[in-house]
Amino acid sequence: MKVLVVGSGGREHALVWKLAQSPRTPTLYCAPGNAGIETLATCVPIKADDIAGLKAFVERERIDLTVVGPEAPLAMGIVDEFRKAKLKIFGPTKQAAQLESSKIFSKEIMGRSKIPTPTAVSFDKEVNALAYVEQQMLPVVIKADGLAQGKGVVIATTREQARSAIVDFMERAVFGEAGKRILIEQCLQGEEVTIMAFTDGRTVVPMLPAQDHKRVGDGDTGPNTGGMGAYCPAPVGTEMLRALVTRDILQPIVDAMSKLGTPFQGVIYAGLMVVNGAPFVLEFNARMGDPETQVVLPLLKTDLLDIIEAVVEHRLDQRTVEWHHDATVCVVMASEGYPGSYRQGCSISGLSSVESPASVESSSSMVFHAGTARRGQEIVTAGGRVLSVVGRGASLKEAQAEAYKRAAAISFEGCHYRRDIAGRAFGR
């Protein structure tokens, strides 16, 4: 069986790595891939948003299944184009992916479905947004409506910060078209947790709970990033909470999309704030998270390829999904300057190849490449988030120690990473 994974980051490396463990031994391809993925799959020099190029490759090579990693091609309609050509693909359609590509659309659906979420008002005129924010209690959350690589959210603790964010999004267009419309949202105080789920448009199978670390600095300081680390399972995601989220959030949103005539197939990601034990949806994503994928997939016991096929073929209700009882911690090693402008082309030392698929059960650490490239015999930095270093152990403490031990052995010029990933779990 031939499988193509679309994307080039740590999430895609984790997907390829997990698919490579399938007893069905699929032949793997990745477009465009990176220097770590090339050890497990044939990397194809086609960009993730080149839908015509990807479709031509799949038809030419007779690929049996395409798995989409990042949000951009989903928002562009890659699933629609592939389905028109009768090509099997894992992910939601363009309309269904609006749950991520338009925060305003997502809020409207949640409102109609009575899904708990912070109150928010949308704006398409800067002057109205500026006037509204003057009347709101602080802190307040300013969100770009469209895709902004996880960075289009500002938690404003002062009026000046709120005004500046509105001007940046709507007038200065720091996120282009994504910020032409914005949401001004109530800021909830609680603990964040991510619960992703496989769904075929009817059945919902939740994954283990993870907690992402969005801010660049220790103690959740500095600007938002695409994610500086994660751990799984997050203690806040108790069995009771997971059941509540499945019943009151995940199943209702999947049912609502089906009633709209745009059934959601693939992975739905619920970014939640837990306030006094009650979950509220901060955002939905239309694909697996990054770096949450890097901590969740190592704990998946069931064959990922079997699950994906069950989703695509509308028979997820016939699958039992099982999990390991270990814990994982992911530390993201980033380039100097990230999440702002950063250097590329710095040589990375201390890397060894990712553990082979056969040794996954005994592996205490994994290195998933994100922004890397090969230059001759060396591997160099090629992005803001460079590596996802994952530790695994019988407890979160063990997993954290493994992750930081492995990260300490790797270096590149200007490298920085948070030193407190999973710290919140130990304070509970």
pLDDT digits (tens, 9 = 90+) for 93-137: 999 999 999 999 999 999 999 999 999 999 999 999 999 999 999
Are 80 and 159 contained in the same domain? Answer: no
Q: In CATH, what number is assigned to the domain containing residue 77?
A: 3.40.50.20
- Give the burial class of 129: count Cβ atoms within 10 A of its Cβ; 0-12 exposed, 13-18 middle, 19 or more buried: buried
Are 253 and 325 contained in the same domain? Answer: yes
Q: What is the mean pLDDT of residues 348-377?
A: 80
Are 220 and 332 contained in the same domain? Answer: yes
Residues paired with residue 200 on neighbouring β-strands, in sequence order: none
> Which helix (H) or strand (E) is 95 found in, with range?
none
How many alpha carbons fall within 13 Å on the CB side of residue 61? 20
Are 87 and 180 contained in the same domain? Answer: no
Count how many domains the chain has.
Answer: 3
Are 88 and 212 contained in the same domain? Answer: no
Q: What is the mean pLDDT of residues 199-223?
A: 96
Q: What is the mean pLDDT of residues 308-317?
A: 98
Q: What phi and psi, each to the nearest 5 degrees, are found at residue 120?
A: -155, 155
Least confident among 315-329, 355-369, 398-412: 355-369
- End residue of a domain, out of 134, 165, 186: 186
Are 196 and 300 contained in the same domain? Answer: yes
Q: What is the mean pLDDT of residues 308-329?
A: 97
- End residue of a domain, out of 162, 186, 210: 186
Are 238 and 172 contained in the same domain? Answer: no
How many alpha carbons fall within 13 Å on the CB side of residue 191? 19
| pLDDT of res. 228 | 97
- End residue of a domain, out of 151, 186, 221: 186
pTM (2 d.p.): 0.94
Could you read off the pLDDT of 333-362 as tens digits, one per residue? Answer: 999 999 999 999 999 999 975 555 555 555
Whole-angstrom Cα distance, residue 177 to residue 170? Answer: 9
Return the HEC string of 339-377: CCCCCCCCECECCCCCCCHHHHHHCCEEEEECCEEEECC
Residue 284: inside a domain, yes or no? yes
Strands (E) in 266-310, as ranges, are 266-275, 278-285
Residue 109: inside a domain, yes or no? no
Are 179 and 195 contained in the same domain? Answer: no
Are 366 and 242 contained in the same domain? Answer: yes
- C-alpha distances (whole Å) from 106 to each of 64, 164, 283 are 32, 25, 8
What percent of the chain is predicted at pLDDT more than 70? 97
| pLDDT of res. 356 | 54
| pLDDT of res. 188 | 95
Are 354 and 228 contained in the same domain? Answer: yes
Which domain covers residue 200, as residue numbers? 191-426
Running DSSP on this structure, what letter comes out for residue 237?
Answer: S
Q: What is the mean pLDDT of residues 20-29?
A: 96
Average pLDDT, the chain: 95
Q: For residue 384, what pLDDT band results from cuts at 50, 70 and 90? A: very high
Residue 101: inside a domain, yes or no? no
Could you read off the pLDDT of 75-104 as tens digits, one per residue? Answer: 999 999 999 999 999 999 999 999 999 999
- Residue 154, SS3 per DSSP: strand
Q: In CATH, what number is assigned to the domain containing residue 147?
A: 3.30.1490.20
Residue 154: inside a domain, yes or no? yes
Q: In CATH, what number is assigned to the domain containing residue 322?
A: 3.30.470.20
